[in-house]
Amino acid sequence: MAQTDWEMPPQVQPNPADYAYDLERALSSVVGLRATVPEDAFTAQTLGTERAGNGVVIREDGIVLTIGYLVTEAESLWLNTGDGRAVPGHVVAYDQETGFGLVQALGRLNLPAVPLGQSATTRVGDDVVVGGAGGRARSLAARIAVKQEFAGYWEYLLDEALFTAPAHPNWGGTAVLDTAGRLVAIGSLHLQQARENGRPEHLNMNVPIDLLKPIYDDLLTLGRPNKPPRPWLGFYATEIEDRVVIAGLATDGPARRADLRVGDILLSVAGQEVDNLAALYRRIWSLGRAGVEVPLTVQRDGHTLALTARSTDRAALLKKARLQ
């Protein structure tokens, strides 16, 4: 979808008069992002080879923060400014644990940097602006609807994510700005949550900015946090009636090599029962760094089986970014 193809309805666009900061200036720092990924990339099948979303300038020398799935394994990357310029970019880092991605513009963006806020001090009910590339017409006046744990089916866990409503239709990499115009989160997903009246509420799940601060310098200098990588097994799982069920397997991942199968019910990890995704991930990660063996007990066709998967570092399977 080209930036000129759509606009937010006027009634949900943020009104500059409602904010104590320069809204137009802040939103000018949200850029469009387009990435091309090789067809043989590890993530090509699940995330596609053409990816588009948003990013926000957080340093005036052209460092752009986005959500990492947009730029993972990208071989070509372009940043599009609100005044119509296209600037090439280079992937600096992608952090598996938080989901953040960092991009360096390879030309002058000439855009202000959005200051980082504190996601921990935000409260449910706080007004925010969810900024998309293209200024106010593609941004949204929203609120923080929920702050709670989020477990993704792809071996991903946030202790406390920020959920905003109404949902932005082009959520990937959007900038969530607090009432002072500071960046408090980056848009990641679109979800639905049941309300008391039975109607679903559409939400965006956003990654809190506080998770970036401890690893920011490492991402800039090393391309990843300076700590041992977590063990990764390469399965996709879901919760069904207090049970964790395998819904998919990564090609040639540790879980598939260990003979884990779609439909298996995961009962325990290293002798500890697990009945939800968060408990499953925390137990696997507690066993050590990537490479550790992970004993699993599963139920399959009414039988209980013991399997052992030797974990790996997922980052080792990804194509490294090349300077354009």
134-165 per-position pLDDT tens digit: 999 999 999 999 999 999 999 999 999 999 99
Same domain membership, residue 1 and residue 116: yes
Co-location of 189 and 222 in the same domain: yes
Tell me what the mean pLDDT of segment 222-249 comes to: 96
pLDDT at 4 over 60: no
Count the domains in the chain. Answer: 2
| Domain annotation covers residue 152 | yes
Residue 70 — φ and ψ, nearest 5°? -70, -30
- The answer to whether residues 4 and 95 belong to one domain is yes
Residue 283 shares a structural domain with residue 199: no
Domain final position from 227, 249, 266: 227
Distances (CA, A) of 28 to 42, 109, 136: 34, 11, 9
> DSSP E strands: which ranges in the chain?
30-36, 50-59, 63-67, 76-80, 86-94, 100-105, 127-131, 140-152, 156-165, 175-177, 183-194, 200-208, 235-239, 244-249, 265-269, 272-273, 293-300, 303-310
Is the pLDDT reported for residue 30 higher than 60?
A: yes
Note the pLDDT of residue 8: 95
186, 100 contact by CB (below 8 A): yes
Segments forming the whole domain that contains residue 92: 1-227
Residue 272 counted as domain residue: yes
- CATH code of residue 12: 2.40.10.120
User: How confident is the model over 314-319, as a mean pLDDT?
Assistant: 91
Is there a domain that residue 245 lies in? Answer: yes
pLDDT at 3: 45
Residue 109's pLDDT band, with cuts at 50, 70 and 90, is very high
Residue 323 lies in a domain: no
User: How far is it, in rounded angstroms, from Cα 234 to Cα 251?
Assistant: 8
Looking at the structure, do residues 171 and 298 belong to the same domain, yes or no? no
Give, for 37, the enclosing helix (H) or strand (E): none
Pair 247, 135 in one domain: no
- Domain shared by 164 and 244, yes or no: no
> What is the share, in percent, of the chain residues with pLDDT greater than 90?
93
- Let me know whether 31 and 135 are in one domain: yes
What is the reported pLDDT for 34?
98
**pLDDT (average), residues 251-264:** 96
Q: What is the CATH number of the domain that holds 270?
A: 2.30.42.10
**Pair 163, 207 in one domain:** yes
For residue 322, tell me if it sits in a domain. Answer: no
Among 180, 206, 227, residue at a domain's last position: 227
CA distances from 9 to 139, 140, 144 (A): 10, 9, 20
Please say if the pLDDT value at position 241 is more than 80.
Answer: yes
Q: Which of 227, 253, 276 is the last residue of a domain?
A: 227
